[in-house]
Amino acid sequence: MKFLRNVRFSVIFIALLAVPSIVAGEQPAKDIAFFGRVVAVHSSDGTATIKHGKIPGFMDAMTMDYKIVPQSTLEKLSPGDDIRATARQGETTLYKVIVVSHAPRK
């Protein structure tokens, strides 16, 4: 009997630990489709300056530096390239960056 009472207590205790995150509505960061044009590549700090239009529910149109993950992707980027990537709410990092069209080479 005492064993079952301890098990019940443990189950209830563990369930109560999860309540604050459920009540607070914490959810994993949502992936957001991101499209933009590369303005500059900064290999030294793993970022690229990207110009993009308004991304509804994420941010207004602007030009700013984004961390590119993985950093090896930077080698594939050149100013003027149009990219598609994944962004996450609350972050300034771009994931799964793909060059949609390359800038004309001189």
Let me know: does 73 contact 85? Beta carbons within 8 Å: no
- pLDDT, averaged per 10 consecutive residues of the chain (106 residues), comes to 51 51 62 94 96 88 96 93 93 95 80
- Residue 45 is predicted with a pLDDT of 94
- Residue 24 is predicted with a pLDDT of 55
The CATH number that domain 31-101 falls under is 2.40.50.320
CB hemisphere CA count around 73 (13 angstroms): 21
Q: Give pTM, 2 decimals.
A: 0.71
- Residue 7 is predicted with a pLDDT of 46
Let me know: does 30 contact 86? Beta carbons within 8 Å: no
Sorted by where each begins, the domain ranges of the chain are 31-101
Pairwise CA distance, residues 55 & 14, whole Å? 39
